[in-house]
Chain A
């Protein structure tokens, strides 16, 4: 796990992300590889898109009338655009008690769980709703569309996942229905039941928020049992036992990193060893 975090930062730079973006992307990469597998493969598959990330035309954002945010990812990868959605939702959740942001026109939906985890690490409770774009290739543990409920119980992250049309989704909708962002979430859940362009939305609540607590208490109900996902346990096991990766994926990770290495120049060589220069 530490190996992916360490090499991943360089690998993402090799793929085309700037230092600042790669820096936090490496954690998303390691988390996703540990929990779902296939993260490095996804980055490699989206190589040309990631390589465009430093071009000037970027991600745009606008405040909606309901107070949430709409982001247009400009076709970028979630490893770059996803954290920005999380930042906007976090900012409002911490300043106003609740935040909502919706991101469209992006790829790389294998990273949705990692983004939910990013919000949990910030001690927020909430819900991600998403629909993967049709071209996304996802491992079996990531549904093509659905929701991820997230929060913290004590110091432990808790997650539940489900489909947009399952009974649990209705209960979630009911809890969120009384909030400002209830209609937005209902619409997103409804969209997730059909096919179409990919999107990711997140609604987040700050610590001690009543709606957030209601969402968390939902996770205690017996009928939720099969929806619970022990991602924190999987991450801990990955630290303890290592991450099982295809050898080609590991090779690809290092190959991406190697793109950032350069031949030692004559000037550098002359600086090595003894002497003042």
Chain B
């Protein structure tokens, strides 16, 4: 392990203060020494191996919902036997009233995976209102949704976002059929589909379609936190999915069974993500830096700690729980990932290392983590890392407070900086990029563009495909190289303001190099243009940061997974629920009353 992979001076002051509050000076140095160097961490395959942690946004949100006992009550949800219906939910989000409306449509016979090209043709469409709109406003919003034409649908700024969703038809129908027949669905069948019956269709908020901008919320509103609005929308989709299958079954048979709480809790929300996620990561490197600083510092803290009987027991229990969970699920495609069954076996082995009487002993968690690294694949190692963070929740939760702070960073150029000063930044932070040989065509083979057919990001090939001039920005390496070349033609003392007059297009590159200076883990050290680059790595990274479990690439550019599987139900949240809900055990029908008709 390289000493001081991230110099203490580069750790953001907020995080330095937290470290200081938890540890003495020598112990702080031990933590900093465990931070992994960017060279090792910032490659796409390594990032793609990372798993959701306690610091992932969905899990941070869930903790807040549980701690503040958010109340979500269904005012009404009426539907016919095909699932065509309307629902209204009233919410108290820690003192902030919200209203959620859900418009469920009968299935149109098309299995939709959640692409933008689905437009407004979704199986469900919800809207989250700030406050308590009156019935006239609710009716107005339902009327907008009923247009089912994306070009005509526009909301107003009292709506924080729309939550489109689609049925996972096979599983939805299985649940409805079972309930209609008077018994519970088969949890193992649900588990084979990673446990969801509705899947996310892509939250439309923060100004999209006329919705409220994030900056329009009051400072303390929970949705000011990055991704909380989006993710709470997903939680609500999960709730609608549960209420909808009950409603459809009841419409078909007044004596239908209701979904048992055990199985309802086991249901999550599906998600599919494509190449646009990679573009977002390149667009917002300060987000990447923030996420990784928080994650890596928490991990370094954990691995610097001595092992103890109580933490060993907790770690063993976590490893076994996750192993059981992974052992119970099946992925549709295992070509591009370590199969869950293999992960499960590896975790079981690692758990055995911590069992009383084991031949292995570890003085610190770092030794344990190093043993995992040397024994298993990176995915297993990152899954273990995510559990190590769980061992020290107080530290991780304190560090998580940095997420909204670090992600807000003003991007502007410092025009007074001289050419020499920028060149020094380039040398210090971008040597890896400047040294990349780009002479062969395969190194710059792809460009990414917005497809007119579906509004999504697609990869084109230079020379072959048109519209290269409108490529989406992903080429941070080319940007750094171009900037370095142009700067080399100026005297060192020239302020970059003068360079910009002659090369206005360099604004973004200059600003990027300047505003990221001093931010650890900001730039992904991989070439997204390269013929052999696999987008799935970065998609998996992004969705794991959001909190998706079971990320499974269905192809090299398309990743599925599940949110919120196991999260307490609304009636449990309001009573004070168990915060340790992740990786639920698959329910057993024999333990559920009335499971069999």
Contact = CB atoms under 8 A, between A and B. Distances in A.
A238 B455 CA distance: 27
B507 A24 contact: yes
A-side interface size class: 35 or more
B505 A122 contact: no
B493 to A, nearest CB: 11
Interface string A109-134: 00000000000011000000000000
Given A264-B454, A274-B555, A91 B501 contact: no
B77 to A, nearest CB: 29
A261 B214 contact: no
Interface in B496-516: 496-498, 500-502, 504-509, 511
Nearest to B555: A274
B7 interface: no
A94 B452 contact: no
Interface in A242-277: 242, 258-265, 267-268, 271-276
A273 B555 contact: yes
A54 B210 CA distance: 32
Contact of B207 (A1, A59, A91): A1
Contacts of A3: 207-210, 213
Interface string A4-37: 1110001001100011110110000000000000
Nearest to A88: B497
Interface in B421-466: 449-455, 458-461, 464-466
B172 to A, nearest CB: 22
Q: Considering residues A90, A239, A271, which has the most beta carbons from chain B within 10 angstroms of its beta carbon?
A: A271
Contacts of A46: none
Given A20-B509, A276-B556, A262 B504 contact: no
A275 B336 CA distance: 10
B451 A268 contact: yes
Nearest to A60: B501
B452 A263 contact: yes
A199 B157 CA distance: 38
B506 A262 contact: no
B112 to A, nearest CB: 14
Given A19-B505, A88-B501, A264-B453, A94 B416 contact: yes
Interface in A18-72: 18-21, 23-24, 54, 58-61, 71
Interface stretch (A79-87, A146-154, A167-175): A79-87
Contact of B467 (A24, A54, A262): A262
Contact of B416 (A2, A6, A24, A91): A91
Contacts, number: 165
Query: Which residue, B210, B214, B451, has most C-beta atoms of chain A within 10 A?
Result: B451
Q: How large is the interface on B (under 10, 10 to 19, 20 to 34, 35 or more residues)?
A: 35 or more
A155 to B, nearest CB: 13
B459 A122 contact: no
Given A2-B214, A90-B497, A239-B215, A262 B207 contact: no
Given A1-B207, A13-B470, A241-B216, A261 B455 contact: yes
Contacts of B498: 61, 88, 91
Contacts of B453: 263-264
Contact of A6 (B207, B450, B556): B207
B249 to A, nearest CB: 33
B34 to A, nearest CB: 37
A243 to B, nearest CB: 9
Contacts of B511: 24
A240 interface: yes
B189 interface: no
Given A264-B458, A275-B555, A20 B213 contact: no
B500 A261 contact: no
A80 B410 CA distance: 20
Contact of B501 (A61, A94, A236): A61
Contacts of A2: 206-207, 213-215
A208 interface: no
Contact of B464 (A14, A95, A265): A265
A91 B451 contact: no
A33 to B, nearest CB: 12
Nearest to A121: B412
Contacts of A6: 207-208
A265 B473 CA distance: 19
B206 A268 contact: no
A242 B156 contact: yes
Contacts of B413: 87
B333 interface: yes
Interface of B: 156-157, 206-210, 212-216, 333, 335, 410, 412-413, 415-416, 449-455, 458-461, 464-467, 470, 473, 495-498, 500-502, 504-509, 511, 554-558
Given A20-B507, A59-B501, 15 more contacts: A3-B213, A6-B208, A13-B470, A24-B511, A54-B505, A61-B498, A80-B504, A91-B416, A94-B415, A260-B467, A261-B451, A262-B452, A268-B459, A271-B557, A274-B555
10 contacts: A84-B501, A87-B500, A90-B415, A91-B496, A258-B452, A260-B450, A261-B452, A267-B460, A268-B458, A268-B465
A-B pairs, top 4 by smallest CB distance, nearest first, are A2-B207, A262-B467, A3-B207, A87-B415
